[in-house]
Amino acid sequence: MQYRRMPIEIESPEQLGYDRIKYNLAESSCSDVPYRELGIDLGDLVLKYDDHLGHPALRALIASDSGVEPDEVLMTVGAAAALFIIATSLLKPSDHLVVVRPNYATNIETPRAIGCDISYLDLRFEDGWGLSLSRLEALLRPATKLISLTCPHNPTGAVFDEEVLRGAIALAESRGCRLLVDETYRDMTFGTPLPCAAALSPAALSVCSLSKTYGLPGIRLGWLLSRDPGLRETFLAAKEQIFICNSVVDEEIAYQALQKRARWLPQIQQRIAAAFRATRDFIAAQRDFEWVEPRGGVVGFFRLRAEVRERTDVDAFYRILLERYDTLVGAGHWFEQPRHYMRIGYGWPTLAELEQGLKNLSAAARAAEEKD
Ligand SMILES: Cc1ncc(COP(=O)(O)O)c(C=O)c1O
């Protein structure tokens, strides 16, 4: 493995220092939840090693929502560890895979660290960030081991239709490779979420976590779904070699939190809808930025309009945005895209912070205009 730190992690709000950012539009999750607001009682919890697959009742809850069996759920340390386990279990150096770009950076970086041969399925603003099955198919080779997709998509909030999901599964099945769908934002789909990919085929793997929708990234709890018993054994072996089992504290918090899901989720979705409307209203009322309206998640991928880009010093824009306006967004290079693209996380700040942060974007764009 050739590990390399990624810009998105080096420049993340938590590494920069939350106290340096007043308007934090750089997160991809809903607001972080204080422990005391969860109404959770850890009682007599014994701080032992526990079931290596993960807390049985927690897996049962996840399984019933995902359309798989409890033993087809492997709890992991966030979706991040699930993705790591999949990549390192399935891929050797020089193995070929197809991965969507832009993407959550790790989905690209881990195969790169392994030394894989990567074909990128580059999504385009002009296509509404849509995923084309024919473009995907054209990238497949006889030796392709993995197709790696993310839906709802980070950083654009795009969501493909069930027809595309089923088409990608059919491609993986017919080519004898695996399909990974990173479904970390699934509960934040606007409207009915897609079925979990893993529930539809043993060739498909799903990854999800509690970090984004439930504002619980600090408990580092995610999961991996697979209906392939042989693969599950390999994934469990990987987990046991990396961390044996999850933290029982994290699992108990997750279990008690997920039991309240039916009550919480509508409230969370209402907050997301209000933040989305505020962002959409901002876009409609100005001429500097454009986006493709997201269909899920709490992020959108803005870009400076062509005529504004021509007269803007983009480096100055980011500098002014942070230094003068205390505002952070996810710059394009976090996602291997040009820097006039930027990810706006609208679900994490308060509505007032979001509205001010968006105004600050316009002010910084004005201030970064190059005068002749
Ligand atoms: C698409 C996607 N997958 C996975 C992760 C990792 O999340 P976690 O490990 O906190 O569950 C992220 C975090 O930004 C993400 O955006």
Pocket test for ligand 1, best of 211, 219, 334 (most atoms within 8 A of CB): 211
Please tell me if the CB atom of residue 184 comes closer than 6 angstroms to any atom of ligand 1.
yes
Q: Which of 298, 273, 300 is nearest to 348 (CA)?
A: 298
The string of pLDDT tens digits covering residues 149-191 is: 999 999 999 999 999 999 999 999 999 999 999 999 999 999 9
Give the model's confidence band at 372: pLDDT under 50 very low, under 70 low, under 90 confident, else very high: low
The string of pLDDT tens digits covering residues 34-56 is: 999 999 999 999 999 999 999 99
Structure tokens at 158: 């795009």
The stretch 75-93 carries a mean pLDDT of 98
Q: What is the mean pLDDT of the chain?
A: 97
Please tell me if the CB atom of residue 80 comes closer than 6 angstroms to any atom of ligand 1.
yes
Please tell me if the CB atom of residue 79 comes closer than 6 angstroms to any atom of ligand 1.
yes
Distance from Cα 315 to the centre of ligand 1, integer Å: 27
DSSP code of residue 296: B
Please tell me if the CB atom of residue 78 comes closer than 6 angstroms to any atom of ligand 1.
yes
Residues 294 and 276: beta-carbon distance below 8 Å: yes
Give the model's confidence band at 111: pLDDT under 50 very low, under 70 low, under 90 confident, else very high: very high
Task: Report which ligand 1 atom has the smallest distance to the Cα of 210.
Answer: 11
The stretch 59-87 carries a mean pLDDT of 98
Better-scored residue on pLDDT, 12 or 370: 12
The whole-number pLDDT of residue 237 equals 98
Distance from Cα 184 to the centre of ligand 1, integer Å: 6
Q: Which of 242, 358, 372 is nearest to 310 (CA)?
A: 372
Pocket test for ligand 1, best of 77, 185, 212 (most atoms within 8 A of CB): 212
Using a 10 angstrom Cβ sphere, with 0-12 exposed, 13-18 middle and 19 or more buried, the burial of residue 302 is buried
The stretch 234-247 carries a mean pLDDT of 98
The stretch 226-255 carries a mean pLDDT of 98
Please tell me if the CB atom of residue 29 comes closer than 6 angstroms to any atom of ligand 1.
no
Pocket test for ligand 1, best of 11, 75, 154 (most atoms within 8 A of CB): 154
The string of pLDDT tens digits covering residues 314-338 is: 999 999 999 999 999 999 999 999 9
- Of all protein residues, the one whose alpha carbon is nearest to atom 1 of ligand 1 is 104
Please tell me if the CB atom of residue 168 comes closer than 6 angstroms to any atom of ligand 1.
no
SS3 state of residue 45: coil
The whole-number pLDDT of residue 323 equals 96
